Amino acid sequence: MIADLIRKNIRQLKPYSCARNEFRGEASVYLDANENPLNAPYNRYPDPLQKALKAKIARIKGVRPSQIMLGVGSDEPIDLAIRIFCEPQQDNIVAIDPTYGMYQVCADINHVEYRKVLLNEDYTLNADRLLATADEHTKLIFLCSPNNPSGNLLNRDEMEKITNRFDGIVAIDEAYIDFSPEASWLAALDDHPNIIVLQTFSKAWGLASVRCGMAFASEEIIGYFNKVKYPYNINLLTQNFVSEQLNHEDRKNEWVAMLLTQRISLAGQLAAIPWVEKVYPSDANFLLVKVPDANATYQELVRRGIIVRNRHSISLCAGCLRITVGTERENETLIKELSTINK
Ligand SMILES: *Cc1c(COP(=O)(O)O)cnc(C)c1O
């Protein structure tokens, strides 16, 4: 039962009821929210449940609007999931390691124990090891597929083992799903009442500055997200702008195709540099690259005006740089500079 997993104070919470919640529908005179009557449409509080935008997202993603929560980036639903399910200083979270840093930061902020389970050396997932780390206080498991910073998809069967056997909630972060050959977990939503799928407009859609992320889950779980989130978390400018951007899915798909072509080319060129030790396979829009001295290479690239991500100090990533796939010209510039660094 999902309700048993919810923190008691959240289950019992009486949510803030805002003016736009108490009255729904169309009227000719709005005197309920202490708004300024002038400066339409920005004088009005926006739809707290973003119904128009969700209807559009639902069509594109093949889910029901009631299965969607929109957040300020995916970082918001990550934080909310922890606050909804995990009792501070009592419950815990299990996650793969290495992975996206925000899960631990949000766990730490909420004073919830965060248990890391190392991936295998080749960044593959061992479900049994992960499940063995969970106990009766584990409420949430974070899986990221394709994973950041390793770039690989996690094995579907291993993930399935976890979603089937674990009694708590499994959050599956699909920030890079558009770049991967595998289908999203969204299609499995109706069969898995205990999963939360996270996606974002920040990567393939090219909208990182807009700060809009998506959580998909059962209607029941989404109900708790709606109870806990700030009522007007997604402003009207964002709702309208994202809605307009969704009309250009073709353009997004063209960008993805271009970036995948660039990824293949960049991977080949990096591998051809004599001192590059390894270019890991990627299902995302970045490459993890192992070099003899990651700190020195990172610094040298900075000196030449090129910024990559130094992952040297991250588990299983010693000597590694994470390089985002850029435009053809940006990638050429990177390769040109790397080729003239002597090792
Ligand atoms: C970039 C990224 C996100 C996106 O976060 P936003 O808050 O939506 O910008 C989420 N998860 C992972 C693993 C990422 O790498």
pLDDT digits (tens), the chain, 343 positions:
899 999 999 999 998 888 877 887 889 999 999 999 999 999 999 999 999 999 999 999 999 999 999 999 999 999 999 999 999 999 999 999 999 999 999 999 999 999 999 999 999 999 999 999 999 999 999 999 999 999 999 999 999 999 999 999 999 999 999 999 999 999 999 999 999 999 999 999 999 999 999 999 999 999 999 999 999 999 999 999 999 999 999 999 999 999 999 999 999 999 999 999 999 999 999 999 999 999 999 999 999 999 999 999 999 999 999 999 999 999 999 999 999 987 6
Q: Whose CA is nearest to atom 7 of ligand 1?
A: 73
Buried/exposed 321-335: b ≥16 CB within 10 Å, e otherwise: bbbbbbeeeebeebb
How far, in Å, is the centroid of ligand 1 from the Cα of 41?
Answer: 31
Pocket of ligand 1 (CB under 6 A): 73-75, 100, 144, 148, 173, 175, 200, 202-203, 208, 213
How far, in Å, is the centroid of ligand 1 from the Cα of 74?
Answer: 6
How far, in Å, is the centroid of ligand 1 from the Cα of 175?
Answer: 6
How far, in Å, is the centroid of ligand 1 from the Cα of 26?
Answer: 36
CA atoms within 13 A on the CB side of 149: 24
169: amino acid identity, one letter: I
Q: Whose CA is nearest to atom 15 of ligand 1?
A: 148
Tell which atom from ligand 1 comes closest to the C-alpha of 75.
7
pLDDT of residue 343: 64
How far, in Å, is the centroid of ligand 1 from the Cα of 38?
Answer: 37
What does the alpha-carbon distance between residue 81 and residue 64 come to, in Å, rounded to a whole number?
A: 20
Tell which atom from ligand 1 comes closest to the C-alpha of 202.
9
Tell which atom from ligand 1 comes closest to the C-alpha of 200.
8
How far, in Å, is the centroid of ligand 1 from the Cα of 81?
Answer: 15
Mutate to test the pocket of ligand 1, among 102, 211, 309 (most ligand atoms within 8 A of CB): 102
Q: Whose CA is nearest to atom 13 of ligand 1?
A: 100
Tell which atom from ligand 1 comes closest to the C-alpha of 76.
7
How far, in Å, is the centroid of ligand 1 from the Cα of 84?
Answer: 20
